[in-house]
Structure 1
Amino acid sequence: MQKILVIDLLNRTSSNFDWEFSEVGTGLLGTLLLDIFHDIDGDSPIVIAGGAISGVPAVGLAVAYVVGHSPQSGGIVESKIEGRLASSLRYLDLAAIVIRNISRNRVAIKIRTGLKIDFIEVENLFGHNIRESNSWFRSHEEGNFVLGTVGTPGDYGLANASIVFDDGFPTSSGGLGADFGKRLLKIIALEFGQVDVSADVKAISDAYEIRIPGNPLTLSEYKSPGMGVWPVDPGLPGYLGAHNFTTDISPAVTQFDSSKILSFVHVEQNFCVGCPQSCLKRIGLGEVNGNSSILHQQAFPIWFSQLGIADVNGAMTFNESCHVAGIEHASAGNMLAFLAQTSKEMEFGDSKLALRLLNSWQINPKTFPGGTGKLLDATTSENASAMMHVKGIPMPPWDPRGTQGLGLIMAINPSGPRYDVVEHDIDFDLTNYPAFTRESTLSASKKYGIPSTGFSSDNLGASKVLAMLSLWQLWSAMDSLGVCTYAGPPTRELTESHILELFHSITSSSLDLEKFLFLGKLRIEAQQSFNSKVKVSEKLNTLPQIFFDQPIKSGPSEGKKIDRQEFEDAKQLVYEASGWSNRGVPVGNTMVSKEYLRLRNLVKVRIDK
């Protein structure tokens, strides 16, 4: 049976308890533990969560989550981590790790099989980047470990800091690296080893691999240069944000040719253990320094489109530098775009200025405008409207005016504007984006309220809003079990039936579609309840004003902007359908809220023992 490991940094102690709730994993498990320990300690822990099926070497299961209390929003934040982390948790028989309190000295935690834990003094690593810190650890400690490390921004507790796992798998937003920094936690090292897989589970993965070529979306992720490049190649005015969302398409995007990236793809290997999808690629200059060249999905859209920079070498340097420094790609990119719009420090299209600023933020993190790593601390009343954020968390580079369903869910989502919070509108729009909409996707989405004719990306009609809510709950269900949405329904080749089959084959427990989707509702309810508890204002569930004021000037969504009243009505429709008040507060009398309270009480009893 898997265990929950609780580590007390102040007292250098640990405890554990059995985890018997096989259907509660990753994002839901992390939220649950964050919520309970927040009440116990009067302060929030940071949680690294796997689960009952997370980490099994099979299609879509190389997913773990880091969940914490964001210094950017003041509410919950979570980040999906691909790669080996989930497998390492499984190898150690851990469903999750809860890290409490603050260490007296800077420390690294090493966790080995049998839950043997070492606390290693690493004050000497203060001010060292990810690459230097990991190199030191590997030279001093024997064995194969997955390392989660913060760089200099994390050491200083800056809100733009990421935790980078295995050199190239970072927390994407919310400032989770600052949480490690405030605890004086430099590295967490999890022993890694082989995890067995049954013949039944392997058969599902093998069958998925055979289906990859028949699905243009899965094939585009599988083939080089991979999923981090495709949003830039077609451009798509109204979908991809350009020049801090002030224009429709950047000249750097129109000039972009993804085939020119192929010569920079160094390693085509399966970073996500056992998953045949192989989305992630190392893309870099010259001899690649380990995983730091793994292309983050936001890096190229930020560089070529939001910053309008055509320099391919600079794009790869930007991606790798953020990994090495331990700074969020989105925080760095949004700040650069803000400066390009509002100051003389940066210009759209200028690679040298961008890299010079990024380098200065690596060397001296407090030169990041505002000095705290918080985007809003760099603004004034005159220029605040140019900072693209939701709840203080950086906006990803996808334009809500042309993808209004995505924009709505990003605004409401308790953990901020995750670009992977829900499937994007363009996959259901036969009129504006026929190249991206497949009849099989529409057919598979009928149960979620998607009509056979699809829907327009650039509106917020009531039936579409309810369909987007159902799709959000579907992806939340995958986030609750530990299934990668980049392999899952309704657009990829891992269907709901396959997920339920995987769950049964791995756990020997049964889970039907209704209960599976209920998990998605439960996770969203838990996160919204936490935000209500820590008093995150509902007024923050909105989008930057530019999306309501300035229309798109070209492309399939020409003339479109978000209607403020439609947006507010859409929010209220989501709140009502979710059983929340008109201020987005769970009212506590729904089946979902009652089940969350029951589950929370059961787990609290186990912790108290």
Structure 2
Amino acid sequence: MAGVAVVDVAARQVHTFSPTWGLDHGPLPTALARWAMRKGHTPFLVIGRGPIAGAPVVGGQVASITGISPLAPVLTEAKVEGRLARGLRRLGLDAVVIYGHSADPVAVQLSAGSPAQQAAKQPGQQQDNSHKARALDAVLLDGEFLDASEYVDSEVFGTDSLLREGPDDVVITTGSRGMAGHPAASIVTNCGFPTSQGGLGAVCGQLGLKAIVLREGGVELAATALESDITTRYRESIDTNPLAQSERDYPGFGLWPSQGALGYASSDGFSGQPVAGLVDFDAKAFMPFAVDDGEDACPGCPQSCLKSFHIDGSKPVDGGRVHQLGIAALASQSNVTDPKELVEFNSLCHDWGVEHLAAEEALRSHNTSRPAEASTGPLADRLASALEEKPLGSGLDERVKAMVIPPFDPRANQGLAVGYALNPTGPRYDVFEHDIDFDPAGVGPERSEVGADLGIPAGGLPMGTLDSRRHDSIVSLWLLWSGMDALGVCEYAGPPTRELSTDDVVALANQYLPDQVTRTDIDRWGLLRLGMLRDANQRLGIASDSDRLPERFFSQPLPAGPLTGSVIDRAEFQDATEYVRKALSWTTDGVDPGSDLAAALSRVDSHLDEELSEVTTEVMATEVMTTRGNK
């Protein structure tokens, strides 16, 4: 059983129910997004987690927010770290579906039922920390609708401060631009954990939804013996893994540019030039702005990747969280060298609820069109002007599926480039492990066999290549990481290059799922998840010409650095994309209608239609609904 809340903001109703669900039906949040789309419940958002997500274990704090992007008719799924997964889990929720349109701006508050209600639950429904079914037990839920008209134009930090009642509250909101439908708008959780692509903040505006609040309370989460053992082993092994160590130690993995990254990192608007913003980048220069050590970012995870930096100590600590797509993009792509300006940019994006990549692209385009204004005036004024003048930055021709390309150059990362082009939800930079982590020139001999069980040849694969040696690894890595997305395991702790092993992931899955799980199951769930997304976007009209990269990556070789001359060969790209599509049971536009995958998708949709048949009825025994005015 799973816990789901369906929120109709137009009718001011919250339905709670517990469908019979397992991962053989695919990840529940993705299935619910398909259901909302097929039933015409647009606009919609699905906030959800996998069965491991939210548990107090290394790599367990990752959730997703899914909706149809306003940039293009693409079903977009964004990963969100931090406390969101734990907040859902404590309320017994695997997913929250929100649809409809509220004429008056509204905030939705979900909280555990009163202690008396919880005590009245039927015997056998109490939480049992020793039993695998505990992940699926739902607590009683109260839902409230709050009038948000007085703070509809507030930014993220102000809205969070207004709605927050306790430190463990989870506040999910967008800024004024999201409510106005800006295509660069993000949805931000707890001030510093944003959606990074797809303009999903604008969906909040379409819904009339200013915020969703998950109140602290519900089930207390204590680590099981297995979780404690896996986390302890991981913590003790970090120092033996240079990649994991670089993520844990200051200044953290969000400040990764360096001269050695030239070619791997994009620079100067993908020109590939060795600009100062990349080659002179000094991560240690940011240390005067560090405000915490990251331990509280993702509870229970010793990796502590997401450090926080601020120039203003009055701002929320989480409002300074540095992700890989934030400061690095502005430094390398726009050639900004001032650490103070870079830290301010990161915080402004969190506060305004705008995507870092889209904001950087808009600034770069604005600077090109108005060079006299490029370096004058406060950053906030320049960024506001850029977002107004260049809401789509340099234009859709420089994007993939209408979304900004992450700052990792496809000409060096040619395996990742295939992921950029084919990924159904847009060019995710973490769709699978980057090419650099298997490059013989960049890994020591003690790690040269990493990925051997995932199609990486002995000795590794050099960057800047896309011949047939790479084909199997693209498929294997993608299925593994998609399977981890389905389970709710963060890739930044996971296999093959960090210290959480596939055996650990299988063991955790067996703790939470009723049937025996094997390594093969993870790949199968990964395939089903990707197929669900691919098929959904075919229904939305996304055709094969969306599986593309901008022309420059095929015709403009990298001009400098160790990969000078690297360019994507068109024939090799075509061969690789055809190989991957065939392995995933895809056609050029969607899913092969005669495949086992297509049959599985049909079963998923039928099962969910049956499980949710009562949601559309006017009265439900499980319905809870209250409405109140301003907080």
Q: When the two structures are superposed, what TM-score results if normalisation uses the length of structure 1?
A: 0.92
Structure 1 partner of 2:65: 66
CA RMSD of aligned residues (A): 2.0
The answer to whether structure 1 residue 155 and structure 2 residue 179 are counterparts is: yes
Structure 2 partner of 1:172: 196
Q: Which amino acid in 2 is paired with 1:54? A: A
Structure 2 partner of 1:4: 4
Structure 1 CA distance for aligned equivalents of residues 340 and 474 of structure 2: 38
CA deviations 1:228-250 (Å, max 9, x no partner) are 012x1344221111110113321
Q: 1:161 to 1:526 in 2, by over 3 A?
A: same
Given that 1:24 and 1:480 are in contact with CA atoms closer than 8 Å, whether structure 2 keeps it comes out as no
Residue of 564, 574, 595 corresponding to 2:570 = 564
The answer to whether structure 1 residue 300 and structure 2 residue 310 are counterparts is: no
Given that 2:3 and 2:95 are in contact with CA atoms closer than 8 Å, whether structure 1 keeps it comes out as yes
Structure 1 CA distance for aligned equivalents of residues 24 and 86 of structure 2: 17
Q: Which amino acid in 2 is paired with 1:505? A: Q
Structure 2 CA distance for aligned equivalents of residues 314 and 351 of structure 1: 12
Aligned residue for 1:390, secondary structure, equals: coil
Structure 2 CA distance for aligned equivalents of residues 564 and 336 of structure 1: 31
Using the TM superposition, name which of 560-569 and 403-412 deviates more: 560-569
Q: 1:418 to 1:352 in 2, by over 3 A?
A: farther
Structure 2 partner of 1:584: 589
Q: Which amino acid in 2 is paired with 1:125? A: Y
Given that 1:411 and 1:542 are in contact with CA atoms closer than 8 Å, whether structure 2 keeps it comes out as yes
Given that 1:460 and 1:566 are in contact with CA atoms closer than 8 Å, whether structure 2 keeps it comes out as yes
Using the TM superposition, name which of 329-338 and 485-494 deviates more: 329-338
The answer to whether structure 1 residue 264 and structure 2 residue 294 are counterparts is: no
Identical residues among aligned pairs (%): 33
Alignment of 1:486-565 (within 5 A): 486-507=492-513, 509-565=515-571
Q: Which amino acid in 2 is paired with 1:304? A: A
Q: Which amino acid in 1 is paired with 2:14? A: S
Q: Which amino acid in 1 is paired with 2:362? A: M
Structure 2 CA distance for aligned equivalents of residues 300 and 144 of structure 1: 27
The answer to whether structure 1 residue 122 and structure 2 residue 148 are counterparts is: yes
> C-alpha displacement at 1:507, in angstroms?
3.9
Q: When the two structures are superposed, what TM-score results if normalisation uses the length of structure 2?
A: 0.88
Alignment of 1:347-358 (within 5 A): 347=374, 350=375, 355-358=380-383
Structure 2 CA distance for aligned equivalents of residues 68 and 427 of structure 1: 31
CA deviations 1:277-300 (Å, max 9, x no partner) are 111111112415111111122112
Aligned residue for 1:455, secondary structure, equals: coil
Q: 1:19 to 1:42 in 2, by over 3 A?
A: closer
Given that 1:429 and 1:456 are in contact with CA atoms closer than 8 Å, whether structure 2 keeps it comes out as yes
The gaps in structure 2 that reach 5 residues or longer are 113-139, 615-631
CA deviations 1:209-260 (Å, max 9, x no partner) are 1111100000000001111012x13442211111101133211222222222
Structure 1 partner of 2:104: 105
Residue of 237, 241, 255 corresponding to 1:211 = 237
Structure 2 partner of 1:317: 344
Q: Which amino acid in 2 is paired with 1:17? A: F
Using the TM superposition, name which of 335-344 and 213-222 deviates more: 335-344
Q: 1:419 to 1:353 in 2, by over 3 A?
A: farther
Q: 1:102 to 1:441 in 2, by over 3 A?
A: farther
Aligned residue for 1:393, secondary structure, equals: coil
Structure 2 CA distance for aligned equivalents of residues 593 and 275 of structure 1: 37
Structure 1 CA distance for aligned equivalents of residues 215 and 349 of structure 2: 25
> C-alpha displacement at 1:304, in angstroms?
1.2
Using the TM superposition, name which of 463-472 and 414-423 deviates more: 463-472
Q: Which amino acid in 2 is paired with 1:157? A: G
Alignment of 1:173-192 (within 5 A): 173-192=197-216
Structure 1 CA distance for aligned equivalents of residues 372 and 534 of structure 2: 38
Q: 1:452 to 1:346 in 2, by over 3 A?
A: farther
> C-alpha displacement at 1:104, in angstroms?
2.4
Q: 1:103 to 1:262 in 2, by over 3 A?
A: same
Bigger relative contact order, structure 1 or 2 (CA pairs below 8 A, ≥6 apart): 2
Given that 2:262 and 2:278 are in contact with CA atoms closer than 8 Å, whether structure 1 keeps it comes out as no
Structure 2 CA distance for aligned equivalents of residues 440 and 115 of structure 1: 51
Aligned residue for 1:456, secondary structure, equals: coil
Q: Which amino acid in 2 is paired with 1:413? A: N
Given that 1:311 and 1:351 are in contact with CA atoms closer than 8 Å, whether structure 2 keeps it comes out as no
Structure 1 CA distance for aligned equivalents of residues 551 and 191 of structure 2: 36
The gaps in structure 1 that reach 5 residues or longer are none
> C-alpha displacement at 1:355, in angstroms?
4.5
Structure 2 partner of 1:237: 262
Structure 2 CA distance for aligned equivalents of residues 288 and 573 of structure 1: 52
Structure 1 partner of 2:308: 282
Given that 1:253 and 1:308 are in contact with CA atoms closer than 8 Å, whether structure 2 keeps it comes out as yes
User: How many residues are aligned here?
Assistant: 583
Aligned residue for 1:515, secondary structure, equals: helix
Structure 1 CA distance for aligned equivalents of residues 556 and 461 of structure 2: 23
Alignment of 1:16-27 (within 5 A): 16-23=16-23
Structure 1 CA distance for aligned equivalents of residues 89 and 271 of structure 2: 45
